[in-house]
Structure 1
Amino acid sequence: MMAYWLCKQEPSSYNLDRLEKEKKTAWDDVHNNLALKNMRQMKKGDLAFFYHSGDEKQIVGIMEIASKAYPNPKENDTRFVTIDVRFKKRLKRPVTLAEIKADKMFQDWDLLRISRLSVMPVPAQIWNKIIKISQK
């Protein structure tokens, strides 16, 4: 069964435009233990929201997980993993953190509860709601 995720990135270091141009990239530079645990649970074919953090704070697009987690070749410690992601599509319009905070349905989601977490699961009903909001 497919799972849904959200991956955050500061757009000044890597953004959706760049992923769209490159088509595929390694999602590395993750050091938080819970985020790494989440990455280890990702499967090829899962989908993830691309969230621009920093000043933007909005979900801008969808990526497909293109590999299972593997040791990050940039690190000397095997507990640090990376995954490959592939550009899937842009949302019709970005969904902002302010919009998400304004909807009670999202109040228990990790995006609001653990705001510094960079990789997190997205329950199916939240995924579907965000897609719906993005189409308005």
Structure 2
Amino acid sequence: MAYWLLKTEPSVYSYADLEQAGTDYWDGVRNNLAQKYMKQMQPGDLVLIYHTGSEKQAVGVAEVVRGAYPDPTDPTGRWVAVDVKARLRLPRPVTLVEIKADPAFKDWELVRNARLSAMPVPEPLWERIMRMAGLGTV
């Protein structure tokens, strides 16, 4: 199992929207590196859902239920989407400010490449975020 982070603008699609849908496709990612990561996502992998914009915080955990397939919103057939299922809302969101303040995260792509909308989360950082959110390992 691998761990990932997916970013979303909550005014467009929030974790609450995913909770309401239960399972939904994650589409619209148009960055080559983010697409490379999405192509590596496998069913059973866990995903940290991160709200961008004014929130800038991790808010929930989802599970990949279908690996990469052609993005239904892309008429060119170049990009992929994945299907994710809501698993749990974090008891306490973890903000970007908190993450940047912790030296353990200094080399993570969320800190180094703020524009990237999909990225891996190394297991030690995943566990650290879960603890910061008030959970053990998910």
TM-score, reference length from structure 1: 0.97
Alignment of 1:66-77 (within 5 A): 66-77=65-76
> How far does residue 79 in structure 1 lie from its aligned partner after superposition?
2.2
Asked if residue 40 in structure 1 is aligned to residue 39 in structure 2, the reply is yes
Identity percentage of aligned residues: 51
Asked if residue 109 in structure 1 is aligned to residue 108 in structure 2, the reply is yes
Cα distance in structure 2, aligned partners of 1:30 and 1:120: 12
Aligned to 2:5: 6
Count of residues paired in the alignment: 135
Q: Which runs of 4+ in 1 moved over 6 A?
A: none
Aligned to 1:29: 28
- SS at 2:97's partner residue? helix
> How far does residue 76 in structure 1 lie from its aligned partner after superposition?
2.1
Q: Is the Cα–Cα contact under 8 Å of residues 27 and 72 in structure 2 kept in the other structure?
A: no
Unpaired segments ≥5 residues, structure 2: none
TM-score, reference length from structure 2: 0.96
- CA-based RMSD: 0.9
Aligned to 1:93: 92
Cα distance in structure 1, aligned partners of 2:89 and 2:72: 29
Unpaired segments ≥5 residues, structure 1: none
Aligned to 2:63: 64
Aligned to 1:120: 119
